[in-house]
Structure formats: C-alpha cells, structure tokens
C-alpha cells in the first residue's frame, strides 16, 4: 500500500499563492478540512445549510448560509459566487452526501469555474446506490450482506429476522435516509416499516438485507484517496464505537488497525470503477462466514478524516493537491494504533450500552482513556470544541420545535411506528 506525505512536508513544498477552498456541508469532517488547509495558509470558506460547527473554526475565513444543494437555483448561486467574489479556481470540498451528489451531477458546469477532486455522477453512482453496489460486489467477488429481492413485495414470513431496511441512496432526504437504517425484528414490524419505506422512497427506493451480528470488533473501514483508478494513500481502521450503538449517525471512537483483507476487498471495488477522489468503504466482519461484507461507500469527506493526520496521512491536504494538480509525494505507510474520538457522543454511546446491554461494550476503556485525536478540540483552534455542546442542544431543540405531525397513512396502509424511532 503506497502512501504519501503528511502536512509538514506539504507545507515545505507549498507554492507562494494557492487558491482557496469552499467546504460544502458536513460537520466534524469539515472542521478537520478547515484545520488541515488553514495550517498550510490556504483560505477556507464554509458553505453550510445544516450543521454549523465548522463556521466556528478560526481557519474558516467566511461562513455562507444557503438553502442547500437540493434547493432550486443552487447551481446558479454557486456560479454567481465565483463571479462576485472572484473565486475562480478555488477547490470545492464536499463533506455531506447531498453536497457530493450536487457537485457530481453538475460536474461540467462547476469544473469550468472551480477545481474538483470529485468524479462525475456516472462514475460514482454504482458505489453510492446500494442496489448497484451489491450487484458490483457480486460481479467482482466481494462479499456483501444477503439482500432480499423485490423488497416492496416481500411477504413478512419470507424473511429470516432480524433484517435491516436501508435506503438505496441518500439523494432524497427523508426519515429513512436520516436514520440510515431500520432494524426489523418481526413480521408485524416489517409490515409497518416496509409500508413507510414505500411511502418515503418508492417501491424501488430501499433494500432489505440480513443483519450481521456483532459490535465494534466487527466494524471496519478502508479510508483512501485515489487518482483515476490508482490508490494514492490509504489505511484501514476499526470503528470501535458509534452512536446510536445499533446504526450510528456517526462513529464515536475509531482506531487504525492492520486489516489486509479489508483493503483487498476495497481495492477490488474501487479499481473496478477506476475511482477518483476521497473515499471511505465500510465493512462488517461476519464471524459466521469468516468474511468481511461491504455495507456502504462514502465518496466524500467522512467525520473522522482527521484520524489520517494522526496516522501520518493528511487526506484534506492531499485531496487539495489532487484537485490543483500539485505533486503527490510518496511516504511511509500510515501508523497503526492511533485513534480518533468524538467525546460527547462517545459518552452517550457508553451510556446507551450500559442501559441497553448492562455493560459498556467493547473498547470502552480505550475509548475513554486512550489519548486520541479529537473530533472537535484543538489547541490552536479551540472554539469548535467549546461550542459543540451548545450547538447540539440548539439543534435538538430546533428539531423538536419543527417536528411535523406524522401524516396519515395512504389508502390500504397501516403505519403504527414512527419513522423517527
């Protein structure tokens, strides 16, 4: 596995004047991008429509609030921004699914004004769409969870519970895409949740797959930067803790590990599509089959991207170099045994494990006491860490106030469970 230099070497090789970056969406990964590039003297703007924590970084020169990438006129807004603020040649950094898809769908128009390390959507769709991802995995010999065909027409007694309902893609935000997955434990629950999934995503908009047993010991990732089908830098990690503990909105404790079978499986997937850009491929180890099964592929900045810096690989700086055409110097492999922690959510994860399972679960001691890269706090940029709790409280209250009433079921449907469970 070939890897490249971290920030200090990049800084020594920096050129006199470099274009800035527009970080689009995201939260903790966006903070990491701002810090990485800001420490190199690269200007960073944050264009956000949801989570505001990145705006508090001292390395974010300007914060712009917009309706989001799905809003009408989003492309015109960004192109006009390039003209009015003289941002031609700046690099676009997508840190959320919607922003990644917006850039990929409008690749030609945006590439005429900005510099991109993101591929066009036709090159990314098979990795971002779960139905296509699993077909690709089957074709090239990468294992994946059992998927039940024709999910919308399945009889509940045809399933081997527990199963998982997942959205095919995250292009259309709704309760299912926000939850990421719904666990289904019995036929009655399946009838209700399948009807809700059809209402939200359409009959072809979700998949039903087996639920692989296991805790953090079985959750792995391959994180990398690729250049037109060639790996530039990569490492493997174990996502030891997450919150919520069943299907996490985010990882809370991640540590680098030596996992060659994970890297091999990810290589097959990415090489088959001649992948280009940043990527995190998620796997779960199935002890029943002694197999690493691919779950998801994230083709944008991920929350714990700063773990790379601790391991000696500064992914944001390398992606910037890829976009601008700067040289990508080779370096030693990333360090194994370093970690990243999202402190406040890690505490919630530990408490949830205690309340639900009667113990703290795997990796509790390490996630509490091991010195780790922080998701929010840095001595040279303390504000994101200081405002995180107030931001979370404000966002929770805002969601509670804005939460709409559950709509009545469509004709012939009986929906007893809320999609927000």
- pLDDT of 68-94, one tens digit each? 999 999 999 999 999 999 999 999 999
The whole-angstrom separation of Cα 3 and Cα 403 is: 46
Mean pLDDT of 186-211: 89
Residue carrying the six token digits 């797959």: 209
Put the strands of the sheet holding 21-24 in their side by side order. Answer: 62-65, 44-48, 21-24, 91-94
Other C-beta atoms closer than 10 Å to the C-beta of 403 total: 10
Angle between helices 130-140 and 260-272 (to 10 degrees): 110
pLDDT at 420: 27
Q: For residue range 352-411, what is the model confidence (pLDDT) as tens digits?
A: 777 776 666 677 777 777 889 999 999 999 999 999 887 777 766 666 676 544 343 333
Nearest to 208 by CA among 153, 247, 170: 153
pLDDT in tens, 172-182: 778 888 777 88
- Residues ≥6 apart with Cβ < 8 Å to 8: none
Helix axes 130-140, 121-128, angle to 10 degrees: 80
Go through the chain and tell me how many residues it has: 421
Domains of the chain: 3-126 (3.40.50.20), 146-210 (3.30.1490), 216-395 (3.30.470.20)
């Amino acid at each position: 596995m070939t890897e490249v230099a971290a920030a200090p070497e990049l800084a020594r090789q920096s050129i006199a004047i470099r274009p800035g970056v527009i970080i689009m969406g995201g939260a903790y990964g966006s903070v990491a991008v701002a810090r990485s590039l800001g420490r190199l003297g690269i200007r960073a703007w944050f264009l956000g429509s949801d989570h505001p924590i990145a705006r508090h970084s001292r390395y974010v020169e300007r914060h712009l609030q917009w309706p989001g990438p799905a809003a009408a006129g989003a492309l015109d807004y960004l192109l006009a921004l390039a003209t009015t603020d003289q941002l031609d040649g700046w690099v676009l950094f997508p840190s959320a699914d919607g922003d990644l898809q917006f850039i990929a769908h409008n690749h030609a128009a945006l590439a005429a004004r900005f510099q991109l390390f993101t591929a066009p959507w036709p090159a990314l769709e098979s990795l971002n769409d779960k139905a296509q991802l699993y077909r690709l995995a089957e074709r090239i010999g990468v294992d994946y969870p059992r998927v039940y065909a024709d999910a919308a027409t399945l009889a509940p007694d045809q399933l081997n519970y527990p199963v998982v309902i997942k959205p095919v893609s995250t292009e259309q935000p709704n309760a299912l895409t926000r939850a990421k997955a719904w666990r289904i434990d019995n036929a009655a629950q399946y009838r209700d949740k399948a009807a809700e999934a059809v209402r939200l995503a359409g009959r072809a908009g979700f998949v039903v797959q087996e639920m692989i047993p296991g805790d953090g010991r079985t959750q792995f990732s391959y994180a990398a930067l690729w250049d037109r089908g060639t790996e530039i830098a990569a490492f493997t990690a174990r996502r030891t803790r997450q919150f919520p503990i069943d299907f996490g909105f985010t990882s809370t404790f991640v540590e680098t590990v030596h996992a060659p079978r994970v890297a091999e499986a990810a290589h097959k997937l990415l090489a088959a599509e001649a992948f280009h850009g940043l990527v995190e491929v998620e796997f779960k180890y199935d002890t029943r089959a002694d197999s690493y099964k691919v779950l998801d592929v994230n083709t944008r900045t991920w929350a714990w991207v700063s773990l790379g810096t601790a391991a000696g690989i500064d992914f944001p700086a390398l992606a910037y170099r890829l976009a601008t055409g700067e040289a990508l110097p080779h370096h030693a492999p990333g360090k194994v045994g370093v970690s990243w922690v999202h402190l406040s959510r890690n505490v919630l994860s530990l408490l949830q494990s205690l309340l639900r399972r009667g113990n703290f679960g795997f990796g509790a001691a390490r996630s509490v006491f091991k010195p780790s890269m922080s998701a929010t706090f840095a001595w040279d940029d303390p504000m994101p860490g200081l405002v995180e709790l107030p931001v979370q409280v404000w966002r929770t209250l805002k969601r509670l106030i804005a939460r709409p009433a559950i709509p009545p079921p469509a004709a012939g449907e009986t929906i007893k469970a809320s999609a927000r469970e």
